[in-house]
Amino acid sequence: MHNLMFDSNVFHKLRDNPEICSFLERLSVSGVISIFITSIQTVENSHGPHPESLFDIRSRLGVRNVSSLGFVWDFSRLDVDRIGPEESRWVVHNTRNNRDEVIAATAEEIGAIIVTQEAKGLRSKAKRNNYPVMNLKELVDWLQCLTEIS
């Protein structure tokens, strides 16, 4: 089982790539992968274009919501997420926590690979911290290799 933390932008890419979505759905149903998000990605997706289609994709993939390891004003939910005082190499107490840092800290806490379409931002922060990060194409290539081997 491979845990994956999807950034909100991955769902937009999946909406435009139904064959990749079907591939990931098969792997999720068969227990090869588990996909996670926090309330941050939920809020981001709800404010973007066509949120219904993004929520449908999440449902098809069996995406699981997990409490974020840190709190971001206007994005985190008091009834779901942890306010603190957790500190990590991503999230520093008494600073304004960026959404990317909280997503990354949560991914690390649950042992999930970060999947993002960002060329900078979350991807560069993960690389700077020597944490596994992939874009959707890299993920699909990796998963195809894994499924061919087994």
Total-model pTM: 0.87
Here the CATH number for the domain that contains residue 46 is 3.40.50.1010
pLDDT tens sequence for the chain (150 residues): 999 999 999 999 999 999 999 999 999 999 999 999 998 898 889 988 888 999 999 999 999 999 887 666 555 655 555 555 455 667 655 555 588 888 998 999 899 999 999 988 889 889 989 999 999 999 999 999 988 875
What range does the domain containing 118 cover?
2-149
Return the half-sphere exposure (C-beta side, CA atoms, 13 A cut-off) of residue 136: 20
Number of domains, the chain: 1
8 token code pair? 């909100």
d(CA 76, CA 72): 5
The answer to whether the beta carbons of residues 41 and 15 sit under 8 Å apart is no
